[in-house]
Amino acid sequence: MTEQFLWGSATAAYQCEGAWNEDGKGASIWDEFCHSDKNTTGITGDVSCDFYHHVEEDIRMLAEGGQNTFRFSISWSRIVPKADRVVNEKGLAFYDRVLDACEKYHVVPNVTLVHYDLPDYIGAQGGWCYPGVADEFAYYAAVVFRHYGDRIPLYVTINEPNHNAYCNYCVGNYPPNETNLQHYCQCAYNMAVCTAKAIREFRKLGLKAQIGVVQGCGPATSLLDTPDYQEAVKYCNYFCNDWILDPAIKGEYDPQLIAAVQSRGIDLSFVKEEDLAVMKDNTIDFLGQNIYSRMLVKPNTSGITAFTVNNAGNNDGSAQAARETRAIAGWFESDRDPNTKLNHWGREIFPECAYNTLMERKRRYGNIPIYVTENGHGCYDVADENGFVEDDERIEFLSNYLHYILKAKQDGVNVKGYYVWSTMDLYSWINGYKKRYGLVRVDYDDPARKRTPKKSYYWYKQFIQDHQDL
């Protein structure tokens, strides 16, 4: 792979592929969830934008938009559909087709092994809390590494382990839909073991490719710099960041983190010396960092542990949507800056967090290569009669965040690439299809899923052209 700066956009298998039961694919936990009574909306990703049948068109449009890289994920259940570990050759052939298109249009693939969509046969045994999940994951990862090799120059083990565990076991809005801090910690730990064991398989092959993990949030911060606020920041970072990043980058947990987790009454008997040894010897080559908003916290005074997320949104333009909040008794709770704008789903729009996140990663982890693997803005897009969307709000968001990302690069952070979330409109977890992130509009009322580039697509193309000297 050349040292060119990578400019691209990103997707995820369940959110865009469709073809949920075609060509030998097995069920994922999201297939099961969306087809169950737990899915109160009835909205599924069964077809979504049908990337499975639009590969050539989508990657061609991406390349025509000036992008030189494409981040996508592989569906584990498309490759290893059942617990018998028999490999589905048609599944491998599909991603060969994706890579063929990438090569045809000179697009660098950045590929994630799991983006929330565990196979259902793993879910039935306890999902990420299943003691055998790391060995199953390592088997699947080895199949992928052996088949695709250096055709994929950038591999990611797991997308957003922190957010995945959080939604699974704190908020409970992702399957298995639990609220259990014990399981959150066990899930996050098992994901760390999964990453390490997959990297061990990766290293055996002597590939030229690189492998990393994607973190879903930035460092915690606060409005005040008092000792009690500093403590809240520390504990929030323990919970949201260090539990994931320290083993991935440093190969070990901070003893203070372990003590803090134990102080919460978490039973750490699931931590095994043999796992820690694998982590120590198998760390990542690069960090993928998703950037959306900051984590603003304050001391927990309520004595309450509670987590909320806004899946309904708010489209009246008032920016008064219910906020996402998180609180752990005695540790921290979410804070609110009244001077900062919220999006329709209650998240802060705070571009400076991009700079702060990247600078803090450099401070804590040195010169590790960093790819901004997701940055985007969900909107209620309104199309004209031709399907064109003038998404000035998205353009403003991306422009402001990119300013701070490039400033961090200028100030010494080893930023190697940037990906807009998302390449095209796709299924948004829980929110369905009203929440749009794409640079390209997908007409879900059209059986052919007509694609129409938005104003942001053309803006991004020009932005890339203007920054070819990076």
Closest CA to 233 of 299, 163, 307, 326: 299
Contacts of 124 (CB under 8 A, 6+ apart): none
Give the residue ranges of DSSP H helices in 209-342: 227-237, 243-245, 255-263, 273-281
Amino acid occupying residue 217: C
Kindly state the tokens that stand for 346: 């209650």
DSSP 108-127: EEEEEEESS--BHHHHTTTG
Strand intervals (E) in 329-396: 332-334, 370-375
Contacts of 314 (CB under 8 A, 6+ apart): 320, 321, 322, 344, 345, 346
Kindly state the tokens that stand for 109: 């693939």
The Cα 437–Cα 298 span in angstroms is 30
Residues linked to residue 453 through DSSP beta bridges, in sequence order: 440
Cα dist from 455 to 309, 389, 392, 395, 462, whole Å? 30, 6, 7, 8, 11
The Cα 149–Cα 141 span in angstroms is 11
Which residue among the candidates 136, 324, 348, 374 is catalytic per the annotation? 374
The Cα 83–Cα 140 span in angstroms is 11
Token pair 């990862």 is found at: 141
| Kind of pairing between the strands at 108-114 and 210-215 | unpaired
Q: At what angle do helices 133-148 and 89-104 cross, to 10 degrees?
A: 50
For this structure, is 103 an active site residue? no
Q: Count CB neighbours of 112 within 10 A.
A: 26
For this structure, is 160 an active site residue? yes
The Cα 199–Cα 11 span in angstroms is 23
Question: How many angstroms separate the most distant Cα atoms in the chain?
Answer: 62
Whether residue 18 contacts residue 53, with contact meaning beta carbons closer than 8 Å, is answered with yes
Residues linked to residue 370 through DSSP beta bridges, in sequence order: 287, 415
The Cα 293–Cα 315 span in angstroms is 19
Which residue among the candidates 17, 136, 160, 324 is catalytic per the annotation? 160
| Kind of pairing between the strands at 325-328 and 332-334 | antiparallel
Cα 184 → chain centroid: 17
Whether residue 288 contacts residue 314, with contact meaning beta carbons closer than 8 Å, is answered with no
Instruction: Name the residues annotated as catalytic.
Output: 160, 374
